[in-house]
Amino acid sequence: MAREEARRLLGEVVRGVDPSSDKTAKRTATTVAELCGQYFTDAEAGRLLTRRKASKKPSTLLTDKGRIQRHIIPLLGRLSVPAVSRGDIETFLHAVAEGKTAGRTKTAKKRGLAHVRGGKGTASRTVGLLGAIVSYAVRTGMRPDNPVHGVIRFADGMKKRRLSDDEYRMLGKALREAEAADHWPYAIEATRFLVMTGWRSGEVLGLLWSQIDIARQTATLPDTKTGHSMRPLSGAVCDILRRVPSTDGLVFRATRGTGPMTGFRKMWDRIAKLGPLPDDVTPHVFRHSFSSLASDMGYSEPTIAAMVGHKGRTMTSRYVHSADAVLLAAADVVTNKTALLMGEAESSPEVKLQN
């Protein structure tokens, strides 16, 4: 092996390549940690565009930052960018999937802790981000190729998870017990809104009163994951909104300040334990459950897309100012079926909220 390596080096010298300078260049090259810093700075400044030709949203940047700090830098941060190979990426994928980066880390908040779990889904999504970061390195001339291309990632099973009939019943029980235990009422109503609309969590927690027209039973969201989107509001969902005191700001208030309810996930975890619901039931599961229930009831993909804001419906919806009768009827049927499975009436129990 030593003789073969010597022959290779001699061959490079004959071709005019200086092996020692090449080694020096690799040692002094930008590290993956430094690359991540440059990538994030440009993304935060809005200089990196998504497939929709728009800057990344603050929520996406926050997720990216967490994946960089908790997975990419600990495992790959010291490597130089030119030295990263496909083998390194595959080793990284399996390390995150097996929980080697799992643990508790401090956050920017005072006494804040993040529970880093790892797993196959996290590994696949983080490798996806890593692919975008290395593509940035290729564009800026740090290396000629992207070793992430061609790496086979785990299938994301979260999209297939939906609530069973028993879990709907447990969810209804958990919400009613949370009300009796005086949990933060805006978190309870936000949970009801999520399960009865199939919206994304960020859309619900960032929902403004100015985006709602209860008379027309319509919500107009100007900047969702898939662009501008108009959504129908069923009668039961309008009942939820009527119970929440109207203000000039967010519909679902945080316990402190005027910003979004950043602690919603922890509040949901406390509600879920009252069910008790399995650990893998998350607010994202509500979205797939709503779509699946609508499909079970015979509604078409375009109708379901219009109700939950899937890609494909948003382009035409920007010209519509209210939901049509057929769409509202579909939203009512699916929402009422959801309420029935949860053991609730079509109009949920009155919840006392703070003005």
For residues 311 and 193, state if they share a domain: yes
Q: Is residue 19 a part of any domain in this protein?
A: no
What does pTM read for this prediction?
0.70
User: At residue 106, does pLDDT exceed 60?
Assistant: yes
Q: In terms of pLDDT, which residue wins out, 318 or 217? A: 217
Stretch 7-21: mean pLDDT: 67
> Which is it for strands 212-213 and 218-224: parallel, antiparallel or unpaired?
antiparallel
Which span out of 164-178, 217-231, 238-252 was modeled with the highest average pLDDT?
A: 164-178
Residues 300-327, mean pLDDT to the nearest whole number? 69
Q: Which of 126, 155, 184 is the last residue of a domain?
A: 155
Give the distance from CA 234 to its chain's centroid.
25
Structure-derived torsion over alpha carbons of residues 207, 211, 214, 215, reported in degrees to the nearest 10: 180
Domain limit, last residue, from 155, 188, 223: 155
Q: Do 287 and 151 share a domain, yes or no? A: no
- From the centroid of its chain, how far is CA 174? 24
Q: Which two tokens stand for residue 22?
A: 């090449």
Residue indicated by tokens 């290779």? 8
Arithmetic mean of pLDDT, 87-115:
80
> Does residue 284 lie in a domain region?
yes
Q: Is it the case that residue 32 has pLDDT exceeding 80?
A: yes
Q: 86 with 176, same domain?
A: no
Asked whether the predicted pLDDT for residue 93 surpasses 70, the reply is yes
**Contacts for 291-298: CB closer than 8 Å, 24+ residues apart:** 291/198, 292/162, 293/162, 293/334, 293/337, 293/338, 294/198, 294/330, 294/334, 297/333, 297/334, 297/337
Tally of domains within the chain: 2
Whether 150 and 174 map to the same domain: the answer is: no
The whole domain housing 233 covers: 160-341
Looking at residue 259, the DSSP 8-state letter turns out to be: S
Tell me: do 150 and 215 sit in the same domain.
Answer: no
In contact, 167 and 278? CB cutoff 8 Å: yes
Determine which of 66-80, 124-138, 174-188, 336-350 has the lowest per-residue pLDDT on average: 336-350
Of the residues 155, 175, 193, which one is the last residue of a structural domain? 155
Asked if the model's pLDDT at residue 194 lies above 80, the reply is: yes
Let me know whether 180 and 105 are in one domain: no
User: What's 318's domain CATH number?
Assistant: 1.10.443.10
The CATH number of the domain holding residue 100 is 1.10.150.130
168 within a domain of the structure (yes/no): yes
In a domain, 311, yes or no: yes
Q: Both 148 and 215 in a single domain?
A: no
Do 210 and 268 reside in the same domain of the chain?
yes
- Asked if residue 217 belongs to a domain, the reply is yes
Are 57 and 165 members of one domain? Answer: no
Give the percent of the chain with pLDDT over 70. 84
Q: What are the helix and strand counts (H, E) for the chain?
A: 16, 5
Tokens at residue 269, please? 């975890």
Q: Is the pLDDT of residue 157 over 70?
A: no
Contact 219, 230 (CB under 8 A): yes
Phi and psi for 25 in degrees, rounded to 5?
-60, -40
pLDDT at 159 over 70: no
pLDDT band at 323 (very low <50, low <70, confident <90, very high): low
231 and 336 assigned to the same domain = yes
pLDDT band at 156 (very low <50, low <70, confident <90, very high): low
Question: How far is Cα 114 from Cα 216, in angstroms, rounded to an integer?
Answer: 41
CB 127, CB 148: distance < 8 Å: yes
Model confidence at 290, in pLDDT bands (50, 70, 90)? very high
Q: Above 70 in pLDDT, residue 354?
A: no
In a domain, 2, yes or no: no
pLDDT grade, residue 317 (50/70/90)? very low
Q: In this model, does residue 5 exceed pLDDT 80?
A: no
Mean pLDDT along residues 61-68: 92
What confidence category does residue 55 fall into, taking pLDDT thresholds of 50, 70 and 90? confident
Residue-level pLDDT at 164 = 95
